[in-house]
């Protein structure tokens, strides 16, 4: 009857015990040697995990939206053109942020659960000169996964800066920032990075840094201006203290802890684990007769968006889930908000977490009167898991 419910929303997630313990290490000064090492090492580990050895990492107190804000505020000047690829709620948010900083945006919006055709994107790039292209790697609202590599190649072909919104993907989906030539990869701490919320994280390519340095007008936002943060990051990378704003010490100690765990698992192992668990979970869900929001070819491995059974009451279903001690998230995309729910399965997620979630889903479906064979979801997951584990 453990009081705590299993947290299966797409962020914050269930964190590793070591990360949670690190939050409660007594706060130290941001200027003492041991913290300088923690901060510097976190920046170094980010470059590894982002696969961007020449990138410029940033760690700043804020939410994931701040990471988007920083990319937009620093790289956009009034009148700049940006092509925004949207696969859900967060594509449109990026559009809003970009426009706030004066961008003229073109929005290519995918049908719900779909991605935008590459040919369509290339066509857009041909027709007009863009300074920048942005896309959401995994849209937290729909669970749609976009393949970044061809997009980044297109951007490079047309000499356009590319920004990958990796809030729901970094450390859960494959990203090779430098190899693919992505200019900014941004995320937040509370998703697959595995650290309580409060940190905006991003790595900028040297090309992005050059573009920023070449600006003709000042960055409109003061807090987001890289001019304030860049010298701080360089200092800590060189293991020197420096001050602009007090860094969120405890969160950064937790961040280093989690980045070390990620490095220890190995990126390949970690991505494949996400893939195995997500694939078995989708098999389980569809075996129960439920439908997924994303089409099968573009389903994310970090979260799954699932339609409620037809004619069922979503709020009642979610309440039953909570009563069964598993917290899932309701819908977020306004067009279909009341018709689906979302399950996060990223970071340190284990098969134990997912099987407990499936058990609760079955109990809740039964409780709301949905007809299905009890145990079907569990046994499907189990068979898929055993099969996928055998292939490792």
Contacts to a second copy from residues 60-99, by CB under 8 A: 61-66, 69, 72-73, 96-97
Q: Which is nearer to a second copy, 118 or 338 (CB)?
A: 338
> Under rule CB under 8 A, how many of the chain's residues touch a second copy?
95
What's the CA gap between 333 and 226, in Å, rounded?
Answer: 32
Q: Which is nearer to a second copy, 33 or 53 (CB)?
A: 33
Residue 329 engages a second copy in binding (rule: CB under 8 A)? yes
Scanning the chain, the segments in alpha helix (DSSP H) are 17-23, 33-49, 64-75, 89-100, 118-127, 148-157, 177-180, 206-213, 226-237, 249-265, 267-287, 314-323, 351-367, 376-390
Say if strands 132-136 and 81-86 run parallel, antiparallel, or are unpaired: parallel
Residue 289 engages a second copy in binding (rule: CB under 8 A)? no
Q: How far is the CB of 122 from a second copy (least distance, A)?
A: 29
Q: Which of residues 348-387 bind a second copy (CB under 8 A)?
A: 348, 350-352, 355-356, 359-360, 362-363, 366, 374-376, 378-380, 382-383, 385-386
Q: How far is the CB of 72 from a second copy (least distance, A)?
A: 7
Q: How far is the CB of 212 from a second copy (least distance, A)?
A: 16
Q: How far is the CB of 115 from a second copy (least distance, A)?
A: 24
Q: How far is the CB of 117 from a second copy (least distance, A)?
A: 29
Among residues 95, 273, 282, 342, which is the contact residue for a second copy, using CB under 8 A? 273
Q: How far is the CB of 54 from a second copy (least distance, A)?
A: 27
Q: Which of residues 294-323 bind a second copy (CB under 8 A)?
A: 322
Residue 336 engages a second copy in binding (rule: CB under 8 A)? no
Task: Kindly state the DSSP code that residue 16 receives in the 8-state scheme.
Answer: P
Q: How far is the CB of 178 from a second copy (least distance, A)?
A: 26
- DSSP tally for the chain: helices H, then strands E: 14, 14
> 121, 106, 186, 185: which is closest to 157 by C-alpha?
121
> 186, 198, 386, 346: which is closest to 262 by C-alpha?
346
Among residues 270, 276, 282, 342, which is the contact residue for a second copy, using CB under 8 A? 270
Contacts of 5 (CB under 8 A, 6+ apart): 322, 325, 326, 327
Residue 286 engages a second copy in binding (rule: CB under 8 A)? no
Q: Which is nearer to a second copy, 121 or 195 (CB)?
A: 195
**175, 148 contact by CB (below 8 A):** yes
Q: How far is the CB of 28 from a second copy (least distance, A)?
A: 7
Q: Which is nearer to a second copy, 9 or 116 (CB)?
A: 9
Say if strands 199-204 and 184-188 run parallel, antiparallel, or are unpaired: antiparallel
Q: How far is the CB of 144 from a second copy (least distance, A)?
A: 19
**84, 107 contact by CB (below 8 A):** yes
Residue 184 engages a second copy in binding (rule: CB under 8 A)? no
Considering only the stretches 23-31, 43-51, 110-118, 124-132, report the one whose residues sit in contact with a second copy under the rule CB under 8 A.
23-31
Half-sphere exposure of 51 (CA within 13 A, CB side): 15
Q: Which is nearer to a second copy, 56 or 190 (CB)?
A: 190
Q: Which of residues 198-227 bind a second copy (CB under 8 A)?
A: 198, 218, 220-225
Q: Which of residues 129-158 bind a second copy (CB under 8 A)?
A: none
Q: Which is nearer to a second copy, 243 or 295 (CB)?
A: 243
**341, 317 contact by CB (below 8 A):** yes
What's the CA gap between 259 and 50, in Å, rounded?
Answer: 11
Peptide bond into 387 cis (omega under 30): no
């Amino acid at each position: 009857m453990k009081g705590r419910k299993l947290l299966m929303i797409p962020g914050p997630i269930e964190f590793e015990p070591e990360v949670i313990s690190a939050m409660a290490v007594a706060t130290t000064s941001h200027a003492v040697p041991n913290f300088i090492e923690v901060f510097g090492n976190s920046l170094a580990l980010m470059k590894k995990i982002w696969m961007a050895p020449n990138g410029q990492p940033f760690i700043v107190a804020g939410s994931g939206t701040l990471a988007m804000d920083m990319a937009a505020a620093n790289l956009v000047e009034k009148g700049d053109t940006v092509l925004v690829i949207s696969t859900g709620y967060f594509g449109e948010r990026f559009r809003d942020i970009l426009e706030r900083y004066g961008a003229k945006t073109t929005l290519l919006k995918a049908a719900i659960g779909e991605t935008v055709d590459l040919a369509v994107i290339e066509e857009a790039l041909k027709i007009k000169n863009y300074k920048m292209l942005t896309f959401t790697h995994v849209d937290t609202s729909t669970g749609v996964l976009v393949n970044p590599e061809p997009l980044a190649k297109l951007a490079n072909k047309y000499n356009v800066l590319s920004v990958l919104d990796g809030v729901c993907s970094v450390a859960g989906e494959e990203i090779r920032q430098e190899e693919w030539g992505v200019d900014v990869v941004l995320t937040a701490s509370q998703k697959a990075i595995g650290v309580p919320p409060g940190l905006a994280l991003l790595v900028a390519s040297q090309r992005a840094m050059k573009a920023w340095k070449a600006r003709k007008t000042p960055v409109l936002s003061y807090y987001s201006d890289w001019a304030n943060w860049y010298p701080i990051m360089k200092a800590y990378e060189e293991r020197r203290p420096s001050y602009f704003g007090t860094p969120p010490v405890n969160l950064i100690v937790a961040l280093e802890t989690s980045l070390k765990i990620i490095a220890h698992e190995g990126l390949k192992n970690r991505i494949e684990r996400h893939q195995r668990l997500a694939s078995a979970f989708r098999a389980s869900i569809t075996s129960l007769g439920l439908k997924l929001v994303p089409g099968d070819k573009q389903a994310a491995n970090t979260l799954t968006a699932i339609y409620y059974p037809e004619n069922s009451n979503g709020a009642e279903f979610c309440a039953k889930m909570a009563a069964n001690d598993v917290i899932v998230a309701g819908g977020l995309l306004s067009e279909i908000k009341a018709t689906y729910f979302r399950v996060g399965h990223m970071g340190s997620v284990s098969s134990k977490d997912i099987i407990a979630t499936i058990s609760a889903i079955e109990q809740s479906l039964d409780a709301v009167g949905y007809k299905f064979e009890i145990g079907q979801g569990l046994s499907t997951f189990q068979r898929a898991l055993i099969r996928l584990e055998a292939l490792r």
